[in-house]
Structure 1
Amino acid sequence: MGNSQTVEGWGIWTWPNLVTAVRMAGIPLFCYLLVATDHYWQAATVLAIGGGTDWVDGQLARRLGQVSKLGKMLDPMVDRLYIMTALLALTYVGVLPGLFTLAVLLREVVLATLVIVLRWHGYPPLQVHFLGKVATTMVFASFPVFVIAYFGGPSFTGATALAWALAWWGLALYWLGAIMYMVQGARLIRSARIEARSVASA
């Protein structure tokens, strides 16, 4: 059994952080392969591996007892960078329509605003719930399938259908999760205001 003790300080030199750094290196590599070369299969592979292994560094940190401040900051940041970079790169090369990209970006703006509002009221960011994780997984899983479908030619028609199924279902769950976050945040703020009024009137 591993333990989940936190490494003192920022804990830069740990195995989980090395894994995170390798995953991060895949982001510019994916962009290069997609935009500047014809190696689309390799681009899809880098994207699938880099994004699909987002659980590895977290699991490794807990099992080795190397949970660190740097890891807690880098791990979610790299996950978000993969999604945003893939989204924008695929839109740039014409794989994804601008409307889909706008819908995802708007959701990110809404949640970023919610985080700011909660911070203003003294609350930390909300814990990621299961629906949000499923939605993110579905949206991201569609990206490498889109690459294969778009550049693979007519023989990959089935991949196109799969990519859009993942993308639209993922987007729907993405926004459903955002609504749940907003409701949860509104309840926290409302309860804080009620408590403040009761204290003031006491």
Structure 2
Amino acid sequence: MSSQPSAVGAPAPSGPAVLTVPNLLSFSRLLGVPLFLWLLLGPHADGWALAILMISGITDWADGVLARKLNQMSRLGALLDPAVDRLYILATLVGLVLRHVIPLWLAVLLIGRDLVLACTLPALRRRGLTGLPVHYLGKAATFNLLYAFPLLLIGSQPGALGAVAKPIAWAFTIWGTGLYLWAAGLYLLQFRRVIRTLPVVV
């Protein structure tokens, strides 16, 4: 997982290795995205879909720990790890909207936030950056949302477990969405500072 940002941002960590242990874990998480979405929308195998989300969360934590322990931090890993997080969020939002678990406006709000930030990438690349470091608020937001989504799915089920999970799920959702938007605002402020400070690389 990425560290707290500096004032003007920095290039992602570099390294020649691609098939490192952390990167292989990230690739395995990436392969789980379409499987998760198919389980959610095809056979409605919610138990297996939840298992994929849980495994993804564990491997997400593990690849960050292993990257530091094994000194295998790389440019690919710095890009791949948050990208896979975003894909899981996107896939889950699409699935939960189509399953009528969350309202469409919530998905549009969260996806729109990422699209706005994606629009900053061309200007950063012209200044020799692949992106800006992920703020700790962004990591906290992702943490909340990745906990909220399986709980929302459980909360959509009838019975006592669903009744207990639903309010907890929406608490995580509200906190996660608020932090997600707050982190986006800080990112845009940081982006503005970088654009004013760093010249375009010719």
Amino acid at match of 2:83: M
The match for 2:150 is: 144
TM-score (ref. length: structure 1): 0.80
Superposed, 1:63-142 pairs within 5 Å as 63-120=69-126, 123-142=129-148
Larger radius of gyration: 1
Q: Is the 8 A contact 1:44 1:145 kept in 2?
A: no
CA RMSD of aligned residues (A): 2.3
Residues of 1 paired with 2:133 and 2:105: CA distance? 28
Q: Is the 8 A contact 1:139 1:170 kept in 2?
A: yes
Q: CA deviation at 1:192?
A: 5.2
The count of aligned residue pairs is 186
- 1:46 aligned to 2:56? no
Residues of 2 paired with 1:7 and 1:136: CA distance? 24
Q: Is the 8 A contact 2:50 2:150 kept in 1?
A: yes
Name which of 186, 190, 195 aligns with 2:196.
190
Residues of 1 paired with 2:70 and 2:196: CA distance? 41
Tell me: CA distance 1:186–1:12, structure 2 relative to 1, closer, same or farther (3 Å): closer
Higher helix share: 1
The match for 2:35 is: 29
RCO (CA 8 Å, sep 6+): is it higher in 1 or 2? 2
Identity %: 39
Q: CA deviation at 1:164?
A: 1.0
Residue deviations 1:144-186 (CA, integer Å, cap 9, x gap): 1111111x21421121111111111111111111111112222
Structure 1 unaligned runs (5+)? Answer: 1-5, 194-202
The match for 1:57 is: 63
The match for 1:13 is: 19
Q: CA deviation at 1:135?
A: 0.9
Residues of 1 paired with 2:179 and 2:96: CA distance? 21
Structure 2 unaligned runs (5+)? Answer: 1-12
